[in-house]
């Protein structure tokens, strides 16, 4: 059993203010037939629901209601995961919460004047916002952008910490491998070959670390998205090209991280190290 949000709307009124793609069935059946529900496509696929299937809704009032799947939609913005008619909702709930009220302006209406009138009506209700179509889209895009910006900032911080860790590990390895490096130098390894060896050590660590981090991150992200399915996060779509670019960029940045180790290795004196 899972807790999910159920929206209620008159199908005829919803069709006037928004285009709700219907994959199967009809929204009109919600208002004309017995109690029914429209289900978002992703929810229907995850729960293996089809037109005519019975669904048991347990409302927060404790009332259990059996409804039939009348339509499968593809519009999470207005229809939500679950959509019923207001009559179906009212029959099992004592109170309702209106969280969205779409309005349709008549052709030729002065939109700015209409907006001013609406804002004056809700002036004493600071929790109510008046948004036109463009502003509504911008608000939803901004909320997603804020989350993406926070994730990108954390990613940048993780990359910086990772590069510092690689640089620190390589510098420490020079002190621990001083005799090994002296032997390489004694048997003819050139300074250029030594720097290349250290450079590829850094690249291997960077790519391996990025691969393990991305794998773990994808697993956590998938679990996070799945746990928020009730809030509309229904599809997990990883940005594979961006992740591949991040691995390449991290590998390239490891060249910079290897610079301190290269300078440390150039100070190794073969004779003194082999003498000890």
Cα separation, 245 vs 85, in Å, equals: 47
As a whole number of Å, the end-to-end CA separation of the chain is 70
The answer to whether the predicted template modeling score (pTM) of the entire model surpasses 0.85 is no
Cα–Cα distances in angstroms (integers) from residue 120 to residues 98, 123, 202, in the given order:
19, 5, 63
What is the three-class DSSP state of 57? strand
Cα separation, 227 vs 44, in Å, equals: 17
The pLDDT, as a whole number, for residue 77 is 59
- Encode pLDDT of 1-31 as tens digits: 567 778 787 777 777 777 777 888 888 888 7
The pLDDT, as a whole number, for residue 232 is 57
Q: Which two tokens stand for residue 24?
A: 């199967």
Tell me the sheet residues that pair with 57. 65
Cα separation, 68 vs 53, in Å, equals: 6
Could you state, in order of their start, the residue ranges of all structural domains in the chain?
Answer: 6-90, 143-275
- What is the number of alpha carbons within 13 Å of residue 93 lying toward its C-beta? 17
* Cβ-based neighbour number of residue 199 at 10 Å: 18
- Encode pLDDT of 122-170 as tens digits: 788 777 788 777 777 777 778 778 887 888 788 788 878 888 888 888 7
CATH class of 6-90: mainly beta
Asked whether the beta carbons of 8 and 83 are under 8 A apart, the reply is yes
The pLDDT, as a whole number, for residue 222 is 84
Q: How far is CA 115 from the centre of its chain?
A: 33
Q: Which two tokens stand for residue 198?
A: 């250290």
The pLDDT, as a whole number, for residue 102 is 73
Which residues of the chain carry a pLDDT beneath 50? none
Q: Which two tokens stand for residue 130?
A: 């008046």
Instruction: Please compute Rg for the chain using Cα positions.
Output: 30
The pLDDT, as a whole number, for residue 197 is 81
Work out the widest C-alpha separation in the chain, in whole angstroms: 95
The pLDDT, as a whole number, for residue 96 is 65
């Amino acid at each position: 059993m899972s807790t999910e949000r159920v929206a209620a709307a008159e199908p005829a009124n919803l069709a006037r203010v928004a285009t709700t793609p219907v994959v199967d069935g009809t929204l009109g059946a919600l208002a004309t037939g017995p109690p029914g529900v429209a289900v978002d496509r992703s929810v229907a696929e995850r729960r293996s629901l089809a037109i005519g299937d019975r669904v048991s809704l347990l409302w927060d009032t404790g009332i259990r209601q059996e409804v039939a799947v009348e339509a499968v939609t593809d519009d999470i913005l207005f229809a939500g995961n679950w959509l019923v008619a207001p009559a179906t909702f009212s029959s099992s709930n004592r109170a309702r919460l209106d969280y969205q009220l779409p309005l349709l302006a008549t052709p030729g209406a002065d939109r700015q004047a209409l907006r001013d009138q609406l804002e004056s009506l809700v002036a004493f209700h600071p929790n109510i916002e008046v948004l036109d179509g463009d502003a509504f889209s911008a608000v939803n895009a901004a909320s997603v952008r804020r989350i993406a910006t926070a994730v990108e900032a954390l990613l940048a911080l993780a990359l910086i910490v990772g590069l510092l860790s690689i640089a620190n590990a390589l510098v420490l390895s020079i002190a621990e491998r001083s005799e090994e490096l002296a032997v390489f130098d004694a048997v003819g390894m050139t300074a250029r070959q030594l720097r290349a060896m250290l450079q590829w050590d850094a690249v291997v660590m960077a790519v391996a670390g990025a691969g393990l981090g991305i794998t773990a991150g994808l697993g956590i992200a998938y679990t996070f998205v799945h746990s928020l399915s009730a809030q509309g996060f229904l599809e997990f779509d990883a940005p594979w090209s961006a992740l591949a670019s991040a691995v390449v960029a991290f590998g390239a940045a490891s060249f910079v991280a290897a610079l301190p180790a290269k300078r440390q290795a150039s100070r190794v004196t073969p004779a003194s190290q082999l003498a000890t």
